[in-house]
């Protein structure tokens, strides 16, 4: 059985930081109606907490993408398993991600969403491992810098387990 090693970000740390992010986003988007887009399944816990700390009219939508492999990588695309059903033209889009590792998923989502001609497109990531090769996607809002370890909890899974943990931990 897979066991947890250490708690890296506790429940209270996460809630405090998500509240701060919500306040910052509220300030930055005042007078606008952002479209929050998150990615199944990992991003949903963060999205659920974050959206309740953004005090503006807003929409939320979910996408699902296939885990990429060597083939997808060389083809330079991410396979969309579930797309959003909303016109993004001239909208202020905020992509809400759980964790940025190599940045490949994000890069492809950004390319896809850019084609839809939003007025603005920014990223809010809860965790950044800072491993993405240059040129790095610009992360406008980041919750925490994360160590280059495999993390679970608060939406992040290992073989589909641990998503429900209210804290973020690494594995033995
Ligand atoms: P990237 O494309 O390498 O940046 O990976 C992004 C996606 O991989 C994230 O949205 C997660 O779904 C998953 N992922 C990356 N690192 C971790 C981790 O440490 N724990 C769990 N999932 C991860
Ligand atoms: Mg993800």
Report, as an integer, the average pLDDT of 6-14.
98
Q: Which residues contact 125 (CB under 8 A, 6 or more apart)?
A: 97, 98, 99, 100, 106, 139, 141, 142, 143
- At residue 70, does pLDDT exceed 70? no
Structure tokens at 6: 């250490």
Q: Model-level pTM greater than 0.85?
A: yes
Report, as an integer, the average pLDDT of 130-137.
88
Distance between CA atoms of 7 and 20, rounded to whole angstroms?
21
Does residue 150 have its Cβ closer than 6 Å to ligand 1? yes
Q: So what's the pLDDT on residue 134?
A: 87
Q: DSSP letter at 152?
A: E
Task: Answer whether 97's CB lies under 8 Å from 43's CB.
Answer: yes
In 10 A of CB 120, how many CB atoms?
A: 13
Does residue 151 have its Cβ closer than 6 Å to ligand 1? yes
Distance between CA atoms of 82 and 69, rounded to whole angstroms?
18
- At residue 74, does pLDDT exceed 80? no
How far is C-alpha 49 from the geometric centre of its chain's CA atoms? 12
Q: So what's the pLDDT on residue 72?
A: 46
Does residue 98 have its Cβ closer than 6 Å to ligand 1? yes
Distance between CA atoms of 92 and 86, rounded to whole angstroms?
13
Catalytic residue among 13, 19, 28, 101: 101
Structure tokens at 51: 């959206």
Report, as an integer, the average pLDDT of 12-27.
98
Choice from 39, 42, 103 to test ligand 1 binding pocket (greatest atom count within 8 A of CB): 42
């Amino acid at each position: 059985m897979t066991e947890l090693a250490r708690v890296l970000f506790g429940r209270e740390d996460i809630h405090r930081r998500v509240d701060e992010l919500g306040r910052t986003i509220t300030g930055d988007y005042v007078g606008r109606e952002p479209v929050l887009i998150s990615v199944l399944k990992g991003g949903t816990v963060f999205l659920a907490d974050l959206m309740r700390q953004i005090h503006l009219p807003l929409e939320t939508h979910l996408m699902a993408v296939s885990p990429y492999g060597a083939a997808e990588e060389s083809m330079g695309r991410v396979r969309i398993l579930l797309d959003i059903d909303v016109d993004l033209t001239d909208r202020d889009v905020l992509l809400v991600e759980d964790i940025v590792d190599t940045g490949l998923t994000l890069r492809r989502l950004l390319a896809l969403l850019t084609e839809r001609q939003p007025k603005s497109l920014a990223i809010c990531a809860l965790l950044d491992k800072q491993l993405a090769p240059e040129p790095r996607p610009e992360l406008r809002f980041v919750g925490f810098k994360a160590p280059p370890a495999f993390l679970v909890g608060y939406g992040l899974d290992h073989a589909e387990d641990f998503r429900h943990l209210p804290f973020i931990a690494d594995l033995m």
